[in-house]
Amino acid sequence: MTLQVDVFWSFRSPYSYLATTRIAEIAARYDVEMRIRPVYPLAVRVDGFFDRQDPRWLMYLGRDCYRTAQMLGMTFGPPRPDPIVMNLATREIPREQPYIRRLTHLGQAACEAGRGIPFICEVARIIWDGQTDGWDQGDHLARATARAGLDLPTLEAVVAAEGDRLEAEVQASHAALDAAGHWGVPTFVFEGEPFFGQDRIDVLLWRLRQHGLTEKPAA
């Protein structure tokens, strides 16, 4: 029987990016459905999120992401531009968030088209690999979408025509994440049990094996 894991994931989360390779590997190797559920980052979901953090948090976050990327053999760097529009001096985050809203809606549409995992892998890479200036400009996003097996204009048309419905799906994912007992990303939920962080993937696999996880037949 195919097991199912809900993967709550954000384009703004560096740890979500760092989890992408293993998410894809698990989906390819095992008889498990890794159901991607794009959500907005905490900075958008929670008013005053950055005001509540210790000033040392961002410095530690950057250091940890760089070393984790090195350990995983992935490239990493600050996004250019940041998917969240914010005033760095005041930490104010406007309600209008064109980048992250567009990305999240595109991600939801890609999931509905059956290409959620390749889409988040390819798009997260151009945002977080530290090698792409202006990921939102030119053909960067279109090429990443094509590598995921989709057509960007087609996805954009879905977003334009069905934005309210896609937003409702994203909000439903927020509610499902809350109901599972967590708030951060990436969070993996299996049978109501949350596993938070890319560093809990091995624990997730341990739990899945207890429930009969099997490898797919060799091609």
Q: Using pLDDT thresholds of 50, 70 and 90, give the confidence band for residue 41.
A: very high
Give me the pLDDT at residue 126, please: 98
Mean pLDDT of the chain: 94
Contacts of 123 (CB under 8 A, 6+ apart): 11, 103, 106, 107, 141, 144, 145, 148
Mutual angle of helices 163-180 and 152-161, in 10-degree steps: 90
Give me the pLDDT at residue 46, please: 76
In the predicted model, what is the mean pLDDT of residues 98-117?
Answer: 97
50: pLDDT strictly greater than 70: no
179: pLDDT strictly greater than 80: yes
**72-100 pLDDT, tens digit each:** 999 999 999 999 988 766 667 778 889 99
The CA distance from 214 to 219, in Å, is: 15
Contact criterion met (CB below 8 Å) for 155 and 162: no
Q: Using pLDDT thresholds of 50, 70 and 90, give the confidence band for residue 201.
A: very high
In the predicted model, what is the mean pLDDT of residues 186-190?
Answer: 98
Count CB neighbours of 219 within 10 A.
3
Task: Provide the strand spans (E) within 139-203.
Answer: 187-190, 193-196
Contacts of 22 (CB under 8 A, 6+ apart): 198, 201
Q: Domain ranges in the chain?
A: 3-210
Backbone phi and psi for residue 6, each to the nearest 5 degrees, phi listed first: -85, 130
48: pLDDT strictly greater than 70: no
Q: Model's pTM, two decimal places? A: 0.94
Task: Provide the strand spans (E) within 30-158.
Answer: 32-38
Count CB neighbours of 11 within 10 A.
26
Does 3-210 carry CATH code 3.40.950.10?
no
Cα four-point dihedral sign 103, 109, 110, 112: positive
28: pLDDT strictly greater than 80: yes
What pairing do the DSSP bridges indicate for beta strands 3-9 and 32-38? parallel
